[in-house]
Amino acid sequence: MKRLLLLAVVLLLVPAGTATASGGRAWVGAWATSPTGVPASDTMTFADQTLRQVVHLSTGGREVRVRLSNEFGSQPLVIGEARVARGAGGSSVVAGSDRRLTFGGRGAVTVPPGVPVVSDPVPLGVTADSDLVVSVYLPVSTPATTVHAFPFQDGWVASGNVTAAPTISPTGVLGKWHFLTGVSVSGVPSTAPGGPSTVVAFGDSITDGAETTRGANRRWPDVLARRLHGRLGVVNAGISGNRLLHDPNPPAGHPAEAFAAYFGESALRRFDRDVLAQPGVRHVVVLLGVNDLGHPGTVAPVEEAVTAEDIIAAHRQLIARAHAAGLRIVGGTITPFKGDTFGFYSPEHEAARQAVNRWIRTSGEHDGVVDFDQALRDPADPERLRPEYDSGDHLHPNDAGMAAMAGAVPLQLFR
């Protein structure tokens, strides 16, 4: 009885978000992406091929685990072999750094439909701001059903099982992340109170990195991770086109039927998977709402139009769920989009944006605020992006704008 009481006390004292499974190790998210399904027009299939995908780590450690996903598959995902290695540029890996992944001690695994799988830990020293290469061999015909459509990072596909090859001869370039959704590390050096932890950037295309330089890792969460010098993990849970309140719903016959599925499930639906389930999570920064305003009447039915009050109510749901899990949640103000090339802007949408931003700044309901709007707006016309931060579509920031966004995040929010 005394041992049971002691165990109960210990469990109560473990901070929320501290991942201590697997031999008592503390696991931190070093990289992540949010998966989606695919539209009917996306019929890519792999068979007897290796996918070699590159991810950029926000923090380092002594051990690595990889998360693969068949969450949107309708048939079992058969993985013949999977390996990780430190990246040496392009599709090459650092000699001697290659490690075979196992899953419950097995080198091959079959993942049921709708399910993710996490590898066993492997000893591999990795550093913050470095590339990790994940190679996955798919021996049988495998539809590419679980993806992240807009990674702004190239991957490669090659014939046969070449997972262990230091260099490969690609047969094609991958424009999406396929089946790969997370990398976590243990042994993270940290001076943060309570030890190492993870910050989740939860958002849409602006968080996802739209219009940034491909392969350069200049999304604002990447720049934030560099500001933190690897002391915390920063993972990107942005999905281009994502909305707070609605799943993708293109009108019948609309061209958006060819791509809307990549927008992902609504933020309210995916919050548990993409935020609460991240290893070591203690903080989440939310930047969402522009697509809720802009999609109805453009790529979604006009009947899905929302008000400022609807967006605020959705944020309150995220706040309640974050706090119930012991997380600190930070609200990011919606950035300007006057003159955008997508048809999002209207005086009514601008009034709603201002109302939501006013609530984020003044309500005190979040645990902190990042004023992305103030960081990016044009002083001469605050409804527009500053010209030097504009990618050209008047909605998405360029590399300089992303740096300004990361620079607007007060680091004391995470202390």
Mean pLDDT confidence for 8-37:
65
CA dist., res. 403 & res. 397, Å (int): 9
Residue 166 pLDDT: 96
The mean of the pLDDT values for the chain is 93
Q: pTM here? A: 0.93
The yes-or-no verdict on residue 192 having pLDDT over 60 is no
The secondary structure element, H or E, covering residue 403 is helix 399-407
**pLDDT by residue (tens digit) across 216-234?**
999 999 999 999 999 999 9
**pLDDT by residue (tens digit) across 120-162?**
999 999 999 999 999 999 999 999 999 999 999 999 999 999 9
**pLDDT by residue (tens digit) across 255-304?**
999 999 999 999 999 999 999 999 999 999 999 999 999 999 999 999 99
Evaluated on CA atoms 182, 282, 149, 218, the torsion sign reads negative
Residue 24 pLDDT: 59
Residue 284 pLDDT: 98
Name the DSSP letter for residue 302.
Answer: G
Residue 25 pLDDT: 75
406 pLDDT band, cuts 50/70/90, is: very high
The yes-or-no verdict on residue 92 having pLDDT over 90 is yes
Return contacts of 309-313, CB within 8 angstroms, 24+ apart.
Answer: 310/245, 311/244, 311/245, 311/352, 311/356, 312/355, 312/356, 312/359
The yes-or-no verdict on residue 89 having pLDDT over 60 is yes
